[in-house]
């Protein structure tokens, strides 16, 4: 029978660490070329991802890399300036999420909320 493995320590990283930064460059569409649903709902509150046209991000050009033709079954109303603003919002949201997640991990480590297992 094999022995159980041994690992090195794996310390928690600070929320300001590079390890917490997402790899995408455009926060509006996360480099997919399509605006994230939760951001679309800030502009189209009743947006239905199953019935409504996908919204093209016109900030980063990611959509055009895979799709040279302007497809009429996509929503092109989100112009560059709007996508810039959604990118800023998403960056702020991400920072908040990162800090909340770090605080959650810290509370588990500190034992202030009890161990989850
Ligand atoms: Zn984009």
Q: Please give the distance, rounded to the nearest whole angstrom, from the Cα atom of residue 61 to the centre of ligand 1.
A: 6
Query: Given this model, what pLDDT does residue 19 score?
Result: 67
**Which residues keep their CB under 5 angstroms from ion ligand 1?**
26, 28-29, 57, 59-60
Instruction: Kindly report, residue by residue over 80-97, the tens digit of the pLDDT.
Output: 999 999 999 999 999 888
Global pTM reads 0.74
Q: Please give the distance, rounded to the nearest whole angstrom, from the Cα atom of residue 103 to the centre of ligand 1.
A: 29
Compute φ and ψ for 51, nearest 5 degrees. -120, -25
- Write down the H helix ranges in the chain: 37-43, 62-66, 80-110
Query: Given this model, what pLDDT does residue 117 score?
Result: 53
Average pLDDT over all residues of the chain: 88
Taking 50 as the pLDDT cut, the residues of the chain under it are none
Q: Please give the distance, rounded to the nearest whole angstrom, from the Cα atom of residue 24 to the centre of ligand 1.
A: 9
């Amino acid at each position: 029978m094999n022995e159980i493995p041994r690992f090195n320590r794996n310390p928690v990283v600070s929320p300001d660490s590079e390890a917490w930064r997402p790899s995408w460059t455009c926060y509006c569409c996360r480099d997919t070329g399509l605006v994230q649903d939760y951001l679309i709902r800030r502009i189209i509150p009743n947006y239905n991802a199953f019935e409504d046209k996908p919204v093209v991000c016109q900030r980063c050009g990611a959509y055009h890399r895979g799709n040279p033709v302007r497809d009429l079954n996509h929503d092109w109303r989100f112009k560059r300036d709007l996508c810039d603003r959604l990118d800023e919002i998403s960056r702020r949201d991400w920072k908040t999420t990162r800090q909340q997640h770090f605080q959650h991990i810290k509370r588990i480590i500190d034992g202030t909320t009890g161990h989850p297992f």
